[in-house]
């Protein structure tokens, strides 16, 4: 047995020794039956939270209002939740109040899908009153009980349904899908943060294109202010290559690139979806790089610092869009040969980035002005001219020169080069 599972069974056994019922439940049972890697083991028990707390040496009261106590075994946290029933649902969101019960059956009945409503006892016997195993074997995703009511109680289940159908490549059972279509409008009651978290998991998951297609087919995109850019075009334009990108944010960027969306519109959309500033910026820069990099691959506008190789021109691009965005662009070019052409990037140039030769991005001594050994103030006092619009272009020039290594990133060398460049451009003016 794996260490994680051993810890979970230790908890089940300890609770049973004290006379309570206890089982492994939910996602871990599903993933074990499918021989998938189990992310975390959840335990359901007839013991009340206070009783769980006193049964173990180390506990954390993580979700007492939901009946959940986190038990720590060998440094590993496990969620132990008292059998419960959820009382009145409000506004199509999960209820605040819970009612503790003594029956595992009732606890399984409140769960969303048959494959998520199974339990395993200490001896490894499956408790499966809603035939989740049979559904899984036939590749069917089905609500526990009356689907229409289940989506009405908690509209987030609509997105969970789509996520599980995509991730586990299952077919949504007929009545469940009908109910989902009828209730999709209720998604408007769900906080955007929770929606965004589900979407993130869909796009980061095993079948992002299928997830987007289901989102579109269900009407979720159009009716619920979910990604509007995605809703505006057919998801048929998305390539399955999407799933080959490792980084989730690269996937978002590539998705929007395929749909022809502009960086500005994407930025607005991701903000509405409550993505963090950092996430929005990363996606925006990848899109901006893909759209505009072709024009800047040939170096310095003043012709002072010119790239003499593909590598050097990508370094200059990294100065403009950031190293991370250029690396991501490389990942995209590597899985999609057409992407280079549509971005106006010459094929040799594209290959030099996509072929894993991004080592020269690591080699770059500096990637942004903040990394230069001088700042604007020092530059102004050294050149001896009042601050003005001349400063920014000089700093940009120094950044490019230092990035390519033609000027060392030291105070003296940079100031020398700054004086030379300033005089040169002065003369030109």
Residues binding ligand ATP (CB under 6 A)? 26-27, 39, 42, 94, 111-112, 116-117, 154, 156-157, 160
205 near Mg ion (CB under 5 A): no
Residue of closest CB approach to Mg ion: 27
Contact 355, 322 (CB under 8 A): no
Beta-carbon-side half-sphere exposure of residue 91 (alpha carbons within 13 Å): 5
Structural tokens at position 405: 């290594």
- The closest residue (CB) to ligand ATP is 27
Considering the complex, state which of residue 141 and residue 333 has its C-beta at the smaller distance from ligand ATP: 141
Q: Which stretch binds Mg ion (CB under 5 A): 25-33, 172-180, 230-238, 360-368?
A: 25-33
Nearer to Mg ion, 45 or 352 (CB): 45
Closer to ligand ATP at the Cβ: 26 or 299? 26
What would the two tokens of residue 395 be? 């700093």
Among ligand ATP, Mg ion, none, what binds residue 116 when CB lies within 5 to 8 Å by partner kind?
ligand ATP
Work out the burial of residue 426: count CB atoms within 10 Å of its CB; fewer than 13 is exposed, 13-18 middle, 19 or more buried: exposed
CB atoms within 10 A of CB 76: 14
Give the whole-angstrom CA distance, residue 72 versus residue 55. Answer: 12
Shortest distance in whole angstroms from residue 103 CB to ligand ATP: 16
- Quick one: DSSP state of residue 429? -
67 touches Mg ion by CB under 5 A: no
Binding partner selected for residue 333 from Mg ion, ligand ATP, none, CB under the kind-specific 5 to 8 Å limit: none
Residue 170 is encoded by which pair of tokens?
A: 């299952």
Q: Least distance in Å: CB of 273 to Mg ion?
A: 23
Which residues have C-beta within 8 Å of that of residue 168, sequence separation ≥ 6? 34, 115, 136, 141
Q: Is 27 in the site for Mg ion (CB under 5 A)?
A: yes
Of residues 111 and 315, the one with the C-beta less far from ligand ATP:
111
Of 27 and 49, CB closest to ligand ATP: 27
**Cα–Cα–Cα angle for 73, 27, 172, nearest 5°?**
175
Nearer to Mg ion, 27 or 208 (CB): 27
Q: Which residues, at least 6 apart from 135, have a Cβ–Cβ distance to it below 8 Å?
A: 114, 115, 141, 142, 173
Residue 8 binds which entry of ligand ATP, Mg ion, none, with Cβ cut-offs from 5 to 8 Å by kind?
Answer: none
User: How near is the Cβ of 319 to ligand ATP at its closest, in Å?
Assistant: 40
Q: Which does 154 bind (CB under 5 to 8 A by kind): ligand ATP, Mg ion, none?
A: ligand ATP
Size of the site for Mg ion (CB under 5 A): 1
Cα separation of 104 and 119, whole Å?
Answer: 9
Helix (H, G, I), strand (E, B) or coil at 119: strand
- Residues of this chain that interact with Mg ion (CB under 5 A) are 27
């Amino acid at each position: 047995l794996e260490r994680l599972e051993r810890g979970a069974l230790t908890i089940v056994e300890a609770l049973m020794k004290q006379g309570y019922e206890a089982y492994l439940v939910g996602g871990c049972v599903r993933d074990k039956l499918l021989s998938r890697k189990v992310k975390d083991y959840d335990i359901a028990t007839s013991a009340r939270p206070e009783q769980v707390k006193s049964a173990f040496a180390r506990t954390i009261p993580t979700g007492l209002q939901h009946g959940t106590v986190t038990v720590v075994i060998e440094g590993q946290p496990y969620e132990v939740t008292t059998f419960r029933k959820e009382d009145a649902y409000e506004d199509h969101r999960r209820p605040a109040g819970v009612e503790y019960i003594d029956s595992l059956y009732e606890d399984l009945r409140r769960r969303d899908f048959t494959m998520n409503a199974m339990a395993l006892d200490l001896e490894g016997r499956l408790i499966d009153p809603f035939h989740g195993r049979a559904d899984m074997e036939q590749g069917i995703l089905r609500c526990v009980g009356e689907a229409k009511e289940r989506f009405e109680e908690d509209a987030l289940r609509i997105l969970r349904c789509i996520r599980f159908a995509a991730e586990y490549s299952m077919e949504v059972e007929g009545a469940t899908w009908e109910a989902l279509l009828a209730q999709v409008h209720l998604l408007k009651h769900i906080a955007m943060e929770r929606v965004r978290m589900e979407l993130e998991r869909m796009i980061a998951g095993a079948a992002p294109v299928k997830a987007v297609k289901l989102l579109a087919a269900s009407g979720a995109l159009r009716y619920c202010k979910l990604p509007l850019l995605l809703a505006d075009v057919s998801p048929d334009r998305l390539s399955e290559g999407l799933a080959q990108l490792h980084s989730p944010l690269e996937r978002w960027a590539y998705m929007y690139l395929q749909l022809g969306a502009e960086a500005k519109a994407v930025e607005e959309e991701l903000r509405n979806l409550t993505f963090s500033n950092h996430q929005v910026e990363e996606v925006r820069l990848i899109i901006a790089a893909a759209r505009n990099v072709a024009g800047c691959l040939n170096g310095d506008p003043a012709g002072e610092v010119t790239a003499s190789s593909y590598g050097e021109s990508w370094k200059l691009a990294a100065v403009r869009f950031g190293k991370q965005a250029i690396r991501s662009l490389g990942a995209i070019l590597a899985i999609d040969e057409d992407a280079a052409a549509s971005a106006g990037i010459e094929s040799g140039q594209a290959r030099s980035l996509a072929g894993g030769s991004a080592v020269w991005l690591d080699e770059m001594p500096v990637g942004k002005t903040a990394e230069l050994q001088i700042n604007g103030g020092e530059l102004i006092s050294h050149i001896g001219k009042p601050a003005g619009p001349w400063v920014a272009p000089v700093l940009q020039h120094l950044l490019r020169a230092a990035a390519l290594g033609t000027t060392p990133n030291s105070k003296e060398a940079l100031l020398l080069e700054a004086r030379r460049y300033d005089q040169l451009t002065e003369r030109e003016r």
